[in-house]
Amino acid sequence: MLFSLLNRALLGASLLAASVSQPATANLAENPVRPTLQLTGSFTGVLLDQYTGRPLQQATVALMRQDNEQLISGAMSADNGEFRLDRASFGHYTLHVEVPGYQPLHETVTLAAGRDLIDLGTYALIPLSATASTKTATMVALATQP
């Protein structure tokens, strides 16, 4: 009986050693390569002046988690107004855009599973001078009414 237990232990140890020494790719033909799941994605877009249509360069663009306002990605717009924000996992975000002399933009965007690149399109930002003149004209008109 002792010999039988010792024999089983040695047999088990040799089987274990044989399985460890086998290359991991031995069954490659039996296990087809599966495509990896995309865990992150990117947002792209273009920033323009609403009235002139000129690209807005050097705009600060930030992507923040909608639930806790954690900064995920940030970028500056290029000379042609284009921007790209990377490293976003699937979920809901707030896009923050700031350009000196323009009204800031805040918009909710979503990256859904199965999409690795979301084109947000074109954003036309309003110059502050245009909004200031509109407010001034409204205040003057209100002040002259009896």
CATH number at residue 77: 2.60.40.10
Q: How many domains does the chain have?
A: 1
Q: Give the whole-angstrom CA distance, residue 85 versus residue 21.
A: 45
The per-residue pLDDT for 24 is: 44
- How far CA 137 is from CA of 32, 81, 129, 131, 134, in Å, comes to 70, 31, 12, 10, 5
The per-residue pLDDT for 50 is: 96
The per-residue pLDDT for 103 is: 96
Query: Does 70 map to a domain?
Result: yes
Average pLDDT in the 5-12 region?
Answer: 41
Model confidence at 27, pLDDT cuts 50, 70, 90, reads very low
β-bridge mates for residue 107, sequence order: 95
* Domain ranges, residue 92: 40-126
- Reading the block at residue 31, the tokens are 């296990």
